Structure 1
Amino acid sequence: MIKNFRAPIGWGVALAAATAVTVTVGATTGGPPNPMPADPQTRPTAGQEKEPRTEPQATEHRRIASSVLGRDLKFTLTALRSRTDPFAASVRLQVFTFRNGAWRESDRALVGEVDAWFWFPLTGRHAVCEFSTAGTEPAPVAVSLLITPSIGCSPTENFRIENGQIIPA
């Protein structure tokens, strides 16, 4: 009686296992192939581009810090998401002067290298470790940003602003 009781259970397990294998094999072999990327990521060789790129062509940007000094000088830090790597970003420092009743950009520069930062830490909480500005002439600007939560903050990059122009210090 015990042999007859175990036999149907054994066949039930074998049938369930065979069905699972069939479903798994069908799922891995069927379906459409992976689509080709719409924009192949070709990298030009040295000297092929007409002009050297100074900033990435960003698809998304987010202001991460801003500072206004008096009524005539404004600084912004903007994260620029990379088009080639969704996890990479660049950071742009912009200087604006107030003329004729409006803020007008007088200069811009990259903080660090192109796509040298990570997008998510830059656009998350506590992204700016240090952003100090002063209204003296030349105006000093110090920037330190979060690399990742586990690594911590970047070394401070210093700039000075003379007549609305950014000069690395």
Structure 2
Amino acid sequence: MIKNFRTFMSWGIALVTATAVTVTVGATAGGPPNPRPTDPQARPTAGQGKEPQTAPRATERRRIATSVLGRDLKFTLTALRSQTDPLAASVRLQVFTFKNGAWRESDRAPVGEADAWFWFPLTGRHAVCKFSTAGTEPAPVAVSLLITPSIGCSPAEDLQIKNGQIIPG
């Protein structure tokens, strides 16, 4: 029985080796050569021809936090995806006042530098580390956002709102 098993195993190894050699020889022999272009100047070279015009894409926005104080003051934090780098983003703080039965924007300011945030952590879970507001005059606002999960949260940026206008803190 063991002798028969050894014979079958040796035939199996021989078959696998023969198959591997056939595949290797077939791969090195190659297939048909790549076709040559019929017109080598079909593509425009630098400075020749017109470049296709692409329409500017709309800025992707995502509201990441909102706070309403009383009946007349509302704050929103909005992430704005970068036009030049799909991984970067900016953050905007907007202040709204309630007048004549509608919310109207009274001021806006960037939080941090333009395109200084990462889009995916900023728009994911736990993106807002701190967003505190108060209904006093001037109204203090503190914002801290997630830089990345491994780095953690940014230092808090303190602002004040007086008469619906943002005053850097």
Q: Same fold (TM over 0.5)?
A: yes
Does 1:97 find its partner at 2:104?
Answer: no
TM-aligned CA distance change 1:166 to 1:105, over 3 Å:
same
Structure-2 separation of matches of 1:88 and 1:137: 34
Amino acid at match of 1:12: T
Amino acid at match of 2:100: N
Which residues of structure 1 form unaligned runs of 5+? 31-35, 40-56
Per the alignment, residue 133 of structure 1 pairs with: 133
Identity of aligned residues (%): 72
Structure-2 separation of matches of 1:83 and 1:9: 55
List structure 1 segments (4+ residues) > 3 angstroms apart after TM superposition.
5-11, 18-23, 36-39
Per the alignment, residue 12 of structure 1 pairs with: 19
What TM-score, normalized by structure 2, do the two folds share? Answer: 0.74
The structure with the larger Rg is 2
Structure-1 separation of matches of 2:113 and 2:159: 15
Native 8 Å contact 1:61 1:78 kept in 2: yes
Describe how 1:56-95 pairs up with structure 2 within 5 A: 59-95=59-95
Which residues of structure 2 form unaligned runs of 5+? 1-6, 36-50
Deviations 1:62-109 (A, max 9, x none): 000000000000000001011111110000000000000000000001
More off after superposition, 10-19 vs 152-161: 10-19
Number of aligned residues: 142
Structure-1 separation of matches of 2:134 and 2:78: 19
TM-aligned CA distance change 1:38 to 1:149, over 3 Å:
farther
Please report the RMSD computed on the Cα atoms of aligned residues, expressed in angstroms.
Answer: 3.0
Query: What SS does structure 2 have at the residue aligned with 1:71?
Result: coil
Residue 162 (structure 1) shift: 1.1
